[in-house]
Structure 1
């Protein structure tokens, strides 16, 4: 395994970076450059490439490698880069982890394979087999809404003994589950616990979590960093104020449209309106039309997230 300078635990805001696209298989290179600099300028603590928000399962293997390599070259070691390697193919997950190590990434993130639903003993075997083959330390990624499988607390407890498993990202939205994981990991202060849904960021940090991998931090990174810092300091007045702003962002931008894809469509549209990158989505999704774009633009104006020059 490659020697990693990754903080243990990794704490703070680690945005799950969107993948700026020009078409189905072409990266928006200029948009990627602006996005990376925009995110880093917000004071974030790391960057998560090829996650759910990055539409990784919908990207070609060539494009996954390109966005990873370009992002690592742009970051230049300023913050840790962690990389999603989830795939239905065990071998492809290992291949991408090896490529990530060659690019200079710091860790990888693995959800359960998302076609054949594995039982908990099978899932533990899978993690036990793959972890020692990876050249980088690994975070588990609990995403049951998309994988059909949960990393049960009992399984996570056993995974604590696997040397290369160093943390968990929980995107279940289930705070009872997260509280159970926090209890299980009390004797492992080096084990990272990060939450995905930004609506739960403040609560999770106040209860002992280490931060968030929150999609909205693509758009307003400083807001999420400030909320994390306030929760860490237990500054409840500031927590309430900033949590309310995060909720307003989520409820006004992620709810435009009718389908489960509205989160991705809304976030990419907002970044396009802000002049950062293209709003092209990977198939099977397409970007918002004029009526939805106008709704997103209006929401950004109310939230104060548009510069004088930016507009849809």
Structure 2
């Protein structure tokens, strides 16, 4: 079995009205998700608003996460940066505090040649002993990690343990599975979009690192269980409900505010503040969110 598998929610960074890390709110999220039965937790990914945090703040979030999870589930920390030296420092910090793995998005803003991109990942992976997951999100980075390149990386850097593939086309995930996982069975392949979970599993993938895992984890967990039990009817029912979720991500950009509001609506007692330049969801968009969630009957919204 791959080192990481199942549902690993990409946990938002919980902050108060003064943009300070909210430890109590973070504890609420962690405890509830672990109680729901998730297979791990990822911090400081896109929903973790890592680009709006200083290096010291990122270290603080990682430290709080490790302390509060307390070994109950695997913890993966996002350590990506446009700066290779910073990514190495953040990765080293994660290793020192006891993270189970790191996830590294490719540098954004300036596209890199394959040679430079290889050097970036080799520099991190050959310095740090932790399992490293690649994070492919071309819509945000402007540069795709194509399957051929991923295969080269896996063969050159032994610590690379998997990928979160946040792509519009399931074909990309399929090619990663065919070209990489077919030869490296312990390489974990996760989808980033909720509606790709079933196709990823049926093609031989390992699970999802999906935003909905923060507010309706029972849907992805139910699908995973139905897949394991080969319960076709249940698989289809969970898949059809997951298909409807991505429409809420269009309510705002970036959408961390949408997810935090959805978490509050699901019953989590947390603040929904986000870090600047983003702002909290407007009242009109909150109304739209409620209408969508009610329409697809994810849970009872008051």
Identify the TM-score tier after normalising by the shorter chain: over 0.9
Q: Which moves more between the two structures, 285-294 or 195-204?
A: 285-294
Question: 1:236, 1:305 → 2: CA distance?
Answer: 23
Measure how far apart 1:11 and its partner are. Answer: 1.1
Tell me whether 1:292 sits opposite 2:288 in the alignment.
no
Gaps of 5+ in 1: 1-6
Check if 1:225 corresponds to 2:218: no
1:271–1:278: 8 Å Cα contact kept in structure 2?
Answer: no
CA contact (8 A) 2:91 2:124 kept: no
> What TM-score comes out, normalization by structure 1 length?
0.89
Aligned to 1:283: 276
- Within the alignment, does 1:80 sit opposite 2:85 as a pair? no
1:215 matched residue in structure 2: 211
The 1-side partners of 2:122 and 2:78 are apart by: 18
Residue in structure 2 matching 1:119, options 113, 116, 122? 113
Give the deviation of 1:280 after TM superposition. 0.8
**Residue 14 of structure 1, CA deviation:** 0.5
CA–CA distance in structure 1, aligned partners of residues 293 and 146 of structure 2: 38
Cα distance, 1:143 vs structure 2: 1.1
Residue number in structure 2 paired with 1:238: 234
The answer as to 2:183 corresponding to 1:187 is yes
CA distance, structure 1, for counterparts of residue 237 and residue 18 of structure 2:
40
* Residue of 247, 259, 269 corresponding to 2:261: 269
Residue 48 in structure 1 maps to residue 42 in structure 2: yes
Cα distance in 2 for residues equivalent to 1:156 and 1:304: 36
Superposed, 1:73-152 pairs within 5 Å as 73-152=67-146
Q: For the residues of structure 2 that align with 1:179 and 1:232, how far apart are their CA atoms?
A: 20
In structure 2, the residue matched to 1:3 is none
User: In 1, distance between residues paired with 2:17 and 2:82?
Assistant: 24
Between the aligned partners of 2:294 and 2:177, the Cα distance in structure 1 is: 38
Deviation per CA, 1:47-100, whole angstroms, max 9, x where unpaired?
A: 111001111111122221121111111111011001110111111111111211
- How many residues were matched structurally? 298
- Alpha-carbon RMSD: 1.8
Return the alpha-carbon distance in structure 1 between the equivalents of residues 290 and 172 of structure 2: 36
Greater shift, 80-89 or 123-132, is seen at: 123-132
Return closer, same or farther for 1:168/1:304 CA change in 2, 3 Å cut-off: closer
The verdict on how the C-alpha distance between 1:265 and 1:45 changes in structure 2, with shifts beyond 3 A counting, is same
Contact kept in structure 2, 1:101 and 1:136, CA below 8 Å: yes
Mapped to 2, the partners of 1:139 and 1:95 lie a distance apart of: 17
- Distance change in 2, residues 1:249/1:115 (3 Å): closer
Secondary structure of 2:16's counterpart equals: strand
Q: Tell me how far 1:300 sits from its aligned partner.
A: 4.0
SS at match of 2:130: coil
CA distance, structure 2, for counterparts of residue 304 and residue 149 of structure 1: 34
Instruction: Return the offset for 1:24.
Output: 5.6
Q: 1:249 to 1:129 in 2, by over 3 A?
A: closer
Residue 290 and residue 86 in structure 1: after superposition, are their counterparts in 2 closer, same or farther (change >3 A)?
same
Segments of 5+ residues of structure 2 without an aligned counterpart are none
- Quote how far apart the aligned CAs of 1:234 are: 3.4
SS at match of 2:135: strand
